[in-house]
Amino acid sequence: MIAYNTVHHASLEEDTFLTYLRTEYIPMLSEGQDLLNLSLKRIQPHEADADSISLALSFDAVDEECLMQILLSNGSKAATHLTERFGESVVGFRH
């Protein structure tokens, strides 16, 4: 089992970004893939960042080969879609 975590920081309305992640990004990422223990959690911002939102998206994959398949197929497509949709308003960090 291998864990994967991405943090997205967005300068957008929280509802707009959450709706996008739940209805478009996550279904695109998980389409035809076996993502285990998928979770989406809000990260409490510092006072200076109160007008933005940070969310941690994490999941487990069976092994490294499975993770690479997810990232190279659906992950690449989802990341491109996110960038086309929001441009520089959203930044992602992978762990």
Range in 24-38, 43-57, 79-93 the model is least confident about: 43-57
Q: How confident is the model at residue 62 (pLDDT cuts 50, 70, 90)?
A: very high
The per-residue b/e assignment along 4-42, b for 16 or more CB within 10 angstroms, e otherwise, is bebbbbbeeeeeebbebbeeebbebbeeebebeeeeeee
Q: What is the Cα–Cα distance from 35 to 80, expressed in whole angstroms?
A: 19
Please tell me the distance from the alpha carbon of residue 33 to that of residue 26, in angstroms, as a whole number.
11
User: What pTM, to 2 d.p., does this model score?
Assistant: 0.83
Task: Choose among 29, 93, 95, 43: nearest CA to 21.
Answer: 29
